[in-house]
Structure 1
Amino acid sequence: MTPDTRTPGAKLFLTLLVAVLLAVPLFAIYLLVWDRQTQSQTASASITQGWGGPQRLAGPLLAIPFQADSIETVTENGRAAQRSAAVARELVIAPDRLDATTAVAPERRRRSIYQAVVYTADTAGEVRFSLPADLARLGVPAARLQLDRAELRFGLSDPRGLAGAPPRVTVAGRPLALQPGHGAGRTGEGFFAPVDAAPLRTGALAVAFRFTFRGNASLALAPDAGDTRWRVTSAWPNPSFTGGFLPVRRAIGTRGFAAEWRVGNLALGQGLAAVQAPAAAAPAAAPGDDAHLAQIDLVTPVDIYAEVNRSVKYGFLFIGFTFATFLLWDVIGGVRVAVPEYLLVGVGLILFFVLLLALAEVIGFTAAYLLASAAIIGLLAAYAAAVLGGWRRGGVVAGLLAALYAVLYVLLSLEDFSLLIGAVLLFAALAGVMYVTRRLDWGVARTG
């Protein structure tokens, strides 16, 4: 064996150079995870195609047509003149109150190794409409309201989800005939029912409805009523409540969740009546916007691509700690470690992330993590025993890697404290290396 004439400083430089070169395959793995995640999203979209997208409910709203006077300026014989003309308008009324319940039945659908979460939702409710007392302030002549030509409009963002039994809408126990379109939403998606709203002249109009629809990923309600009460139950144990309004009550357990929203129009910052162009001329705009939603996301408990992506970001932590161990054996223990040996160890560490990704798509993240880490620990421990000249030293490397993989799993599980734990770990490692090498002369060659 030829004597090792490299100085400790030179060994440190070469080790750092190899570590930096390993950034290239690490970045390639990051791109691989992104590509597989994109394929997963494409596959999920294919699974849910034709089922129904993320659904948003709106309404019901009551639209009453009327004729309004419009003053327009025209030019006649070179002189400006004003002319009065009758134009078609609609008085759109939100209900005084809405009381609705939705039961969400989730389902996992698979295609090959990919899956998507879909659901079937059954919604039932009651609303009450009344004419606003200040019609004159809205510029609406009460005598011109065509109550017999009113429409009840229900918004559903993806009407393809209306598969199964047709929706049922009743007024005073009498079912109404439903038609597609004219929905209560920004795009006018949904369905409507012609209704005779003559009871509004003397009182309120009570409406009951029930319909079942399908969707995936999320469900939202755009509250419009003066007092909206929406109760949702589901067997899905991992909901995420988002949107501009959070539930006033909620209960989450292993068997599912129950939540209740209570939203008034004062919180929405809007009145219960508005005048607009007819739906045939322009889509009805939802009174609420994206910030005024009560939304539930059916969250997948473990997003394997997000977890693998986060673990790749800690790749240098593994490379740094393992290379530091080999370097200490090299400069202090007198065991020569060649540059190709550092490179092979680094490739083994990077292979862990490829194994983790490939296995997680098939058997889940936790099982994949245990299997991939056990395989890499066994491989590198055996290789370290050969390189460092003994199974005891190989056992040290195995113990170090086992500790690193355990810490990484904790970091992935405790996302909120991952930075703190990682910083403390790096500080402890740096302090240990500084202590062990405190008397080392980095510029003197060792020939032992």
Structure 2
Amino acid sequence: MSEPRLPRTPGMKLLFTLLIGAVLAIPLFTVYLLVYDRQNQSNTARASIAEGWGGPQSISGPILVIPYSATTTETVTENGKQVAKTSTAWHELTLSPDVATIQSTVKPDVRKRSIYEAVVYEARNRGTARFALPADLSRWGTTRAALALDRAELRFGISDARGLFGAPPAVTADARPLELQPGKGPRETGGSGFFTALDASPLAAKPIGVTFDYAVRGNQSIALLPQGGDTRWTVTSRWANPSFQGGFLPTERQVGANGFTATWRVGNLALGRTLISTDEHPEATVAAPERGLPGDSAAARVDLVTPVDLYAQVNRSVKYGFLFIGFTFTALLMFDLIGGVKVSPIEYGLVGAGLVLFFVMLLAFAEVIGFTLAYCVAGGAIIALLTAYSSAVLRSWRRGGLIAGLLTALYGVLYVLLSLEDLSLLIGSLLLFAALAAVMYLTRGIDWGGRDVPAPSKG
């Protein structure tokens, strides 16, 4: 006759509960990877939607490029005699406007494909610029007489020139319309853009005023790479969720439900560059690339962000999955230890599987109906399922109702944590403290090691 099995001690039950919770980390991590995979698919789909619209646009210019001649004399030895040879080479002087004003009107649009969507826009850029030559050019290694002003070029930069659309860009200099050609954008846009030949001979006597008007398409963001001595850029859009980025923030901005208006004012002193540079002596000017501000830090940028990034919110909610499992298992363990209702490891596992399934359902529904509504649908379905199952396991609808109340409170607290990102750590830590205090109070009289359990008789 076999000996009766010793009853499981409270400590053993706790150990089994912790073990099952640790095993559930595997499917929970799988859900985390699923969110990551779906987010990558979403990014790919968004890129495909916006493919024909051009990428995030950066605009630059105008700048005036003027050829100039430089004569050099060197002494060489020919047939044993010292001979002086003179040669003339052409170089480029780049002149930035001393004042530039640009107004960009951004018209956003949300394009959808299947369950994915992307924010694209059309931006009309209108502005004016004034160019003036300094009286003394000797510090840049040239003179006014050496400048070929009649062969100057006016250059504009657009990071993705495929985005140019609608009527051809219109550029005038002193009210004279100019014919445009593709390419020759400044180095800040990788040479992408357009240019026009300009007879800048009047520049020798007075400043030249330039006006321009062109429209571009893009997605996600639009940025300005300032070039002038005093650049003013005003962006107006009906998009209600802008994010101002880059090395320069707006000096004025108004953001509301109907859109935003933002104005930047950037000077060349803040940029760390002079208004004139040459290709002959780049080391003599602070406009050299290594001395200027690198990359995005020299740009003023506004992003058209999506108000709710559902993948980020689902990803954050998955990170709280252990709280759901821990609190629910703690409630079942209390019923087991205090209420005298035995809960088997299989039943713990099935309840845990339901808790993990919530995050899968949340992701699946959020892609279709949005995060908030998906949260309510998935949470309601899991609460109903686990309430019915817990009532059967605990042999009481009243006890099942307590589980329902616990889950409802947990889902409510989680939604608050997701909404109040800055206070999530504080609220979460207080919640854990309260739960630990409650468990310590309820289990203060439990004999975890089973020391008071009488040994079974052998007779």
Q: TM-score, normalising length from structure 1?
A: 0.94
Residue 267 (structure 1) aligns with: 270
Residue 38 (structure 1) aligns with: 40
Residue 120 (structure 1) aligns with: 122
Residue 318 (structure 1) aligns with: 324
Query: Which 4+ stretches in 1 moved above 6 angstroms?
Result: 71-82, 284-287
User: Kindly tell me: are residues 315 and 4 of structure 1, through their superposed partners in 2, closer, same or farther at Cα, counting changes over 3 Å?
Assistant: farther
1:179-204, Cα deviation, whole Å (9 max, x unpaired) = 00001243111000110111110010
Match of 2:138 among 120, 136, 139: 136
Q: Percent identity?
A: 60
Please give the secondary structure, in 2, of the residue aligned with 1:137: helix
8 Å CA contact 1:224, 1:288 repeated in 2: no
User: Kindly tell me: are residues 129 and 345 of structure 1, through their superposed partners in 2, closer, same or farther at Cα, counting changes over 3 Å?
Assistant: same
Q: CA deviation at 1:88?
A: 2.1
- Residue type of the alignment partner of 2:381: A
- Residue type of the alignment partner of 1:136: S
Aligned equivalents of 1:391, 1:107: Cα separation in 2? 51
Query: Are 1:302 and 2:305 matched, yes or no?
Result: no
- Residue type of the alignment partner of 2:222: L
Query: Are 1:68 and 2:66 matched, yes or no?
Result: no
Please give the secondary structure, in 1, of the residue aligned with 2:184: coil
Residue 235 (structure 1) aligns with: 238
User: Kindly tell me: are residues 173 and 9 of structure 1, through their superposed partners in 2, closer, same or farther at Cα, counting changes over 3 Å?
Assistant: same
8 Å CA contact 1:132, 1:273 repeated in 2: no
- Residue type of the alignment partner of 2:117: Q
8 Å CA contact 2:136, 2:143 repeated in 1: no
8 Å CA contact 1:152, 1:192 repeated in 2: yes
Residue 284 (structure 2) aligns with: none
1:309-330, Cα deviation, whole Å (9 max, x unpaired) = 0100000010000000001101
8 Å CA contact 2:310, 2:371 repeated in 1: yes
Q: CA deviation at 1:71?
A: 6.2
- Residue type of the alignment partner of 1:38: N
Match of 1:392 among 393, 398, 406: 398
Query: Which of the two has higher C-alpha Rg?
Result: 2
User: Kindly tell me: are residues 76 and 329 of structure 1, through their superposed partners in 2, closer, same or farther at Cα, counting changes over 3 Å?
Assistant: farther
Aligned equivalents of 1:357, 1:144: Cα separation in 2? 68
Aligned equivalents of 1:351, 1:152: Cα separation in 2? 61
Q: CA deviation at 1:69?
A: 3.3
User: Kindly tell me: are residues 3 and 341 of structure 1, through their superposed partners in 2, closer, same or farther at Cα, counting changes over 3 Å?
Assistant: farther
Q: CA deviation at 1:100?
A: 1.2
User: Kindly tell me: are residues 16 and 238 of structure 1, through their superposed partners in 2, closer, same or farther at Cα, counting changes over 3 Å?
Assistant: same
Q: CA deviation at 1:81?
A: 8.8
Q: CA deviation at 1:4?
A: 8.2
Aligned equivalents of 1:344, 1:44: Cα separation in 2? 38
Residue 252 (structure 1) aligns with: 255
Residue 202 (structure 1) aligns with: 205
1:368-388, Cα deviation, whole Å (9 max, x unpaired) = 011000000100011100001
Aligned equivalents of 1:446, 1:214: Cα separation in 2? 77
Query: Are 1:24 and 2:26 matched, yes or no?
Result: yes
Query: Are 1:327 and 2:330 matched, yes or no?
Result: no
Query: Are 1:430 and 2:436 matched, yes or no?
Result: yes
Q: TM-score, normalising length from structure 2?
A: 0.92
Query: Are 1:222 and 2:221 matched, yes or no?
Result: no
Q: CA deviation at 1:116?
A: 0.3
8 Å CA contact 1:180, 1:192 repeated in 2: yes
Query: Are 1:408 and 2:414 matched, yes or no?
Result: yes
Q: Which runs of 5+ in 2 are unaligned?
A: 282-286, 455-459
Q: Which runs of 5+ in 1 are unaligned?
A: 279-283
Q: CA deviation at 1:266?
A: 1.1
Match of 2:194 among 172, 176, 191: 191
Aligned equivalents of 2:198, 2:58: Cα separation in 1? 24
8 Å CA contact 2:224, 2:300 repeated in 1: yes
- Residue type of the alignment partner of 1:359: F
Residue 349 (structure 1) aligns with: 355
Please give the secondary structure, in 1, of the residue aligned with 2:297: coil
Q: CA deviation at 1:144?
A: 1.3
Aligned equivalents of 1:76, 1:218: Cα separation in 2? 61
Q: Provide the aligned C-alpha RMSD in A.
A: 2.2
Question: How many positions carry a matched residue from both structures?
Answer: 441
1:49-86, Cα deviation, whole Å (9 max, x unpaired) = 12110000111000001122356787878999985532
8 Å CA contact 1:185, 1:285 repeated in 2: no
8 Å CA contact 1:188, 1:285 repeated in 2: no
Q: CA deviation at 1:333?
A: 0.8
Residue 457 (structure 2) aligns with: none
1:343-364, Cα deviation, whole Å (9 max, x unpaired) = 0011100000000000000001
Aligned equivalents of 1:391, 1:434: Cα separation in 2? 26
Match of 2:369 among 347, 353, 363: 363
Aligned equivalents of 2:412, 2:74: Cα separation in 1? 76
Aligned equivalents of 2:156, 2:247: Cα separation in 1? 21
User: Kindly tell me: are residues 142 and 20 of structure 1, through their superposed partners in 2, closer, same or farther at Cα, counting changes over 3 Å?
Assistant: same
Aligned equivalents of 1:79, 1:239: Cα separation in 2? 72
Residue 340 (structure 1) aligns with: 346
1:233-274, Cα deviation, whole Å (9 max, x unpaired) = 100000000111100110110100000111111111111000
Q: CA deviation at 1:336?
A: 0.2
Please give the secondary structure, in 1, of the residue aligned with 2:118: strand
Aligned equivalents of 1:251, 1:123: Cα separation in 2? 20
8 Å CA contact 2:272, 2:293 repeated in 1: no
- Residue type of the alignment partner of 2:149: L
Residue 169 (structure 2) aligns with: 167
